[in-house]
Amino acid sequence: MMTVRLSATIPTNQTQLLGQIVLANFANNEGLASEGDNVWSATQSSGVALLGTAGTGNFGTLTNGALEASNVDLSKELVNMIVAQRNYQSNAQTIKTQDQILNTLVNLR
């Protein structure tokens, strides 16, 4: 468990506590509104934010120097990419066929 506190040394060489990182839990995480760049805001659907510090209650912990693990299902995304690629190929073939038909019609005169 790690507690994060922000402190500063003031001109008298004393260390002064400026604040502590606070975490928030919501009754309905799915109700949060995405603001982009991994920023979320509370809505009526998400409920009121319950504030607390890391390592207490259901607030989880903070880990120094760690990278967030991806929450993407790699196999699902790979299947989605293959489907999108096949759809693109199908559309490209449709356009090519349409161009050939139009070319044939123009040359019938």
41 touches 32 (CB < 8 A) = yes
Domains of the chain by residue range: 1-64, 72-109
Round to whole Å and give the CA distance between 80 and 88.
Answer: 12
Q: Please report, as a single letter, which amino acid is at residue 47.
A: G
Q: What is the per-residue pLDDT for 4?
A: 58
Position 79 confidence tier, pLDDT thresholds 50, 70, 90: very high
Q: How confident is the model at residue 12 (pLDDT cuts 50, 70, 90)?
A: confident
Neighbours of 23 (CB within 10 A): 19
* Per-residue pLDDT tens digits for 19-61: 778 888 899 989 999 988 888 889 999 999 888 888 888 888 8
CA dist., res. 24 & res. 41, Å (int): 11
Whether the CB-CB separation of 21 and 7 falls below 8 Å is answered with no
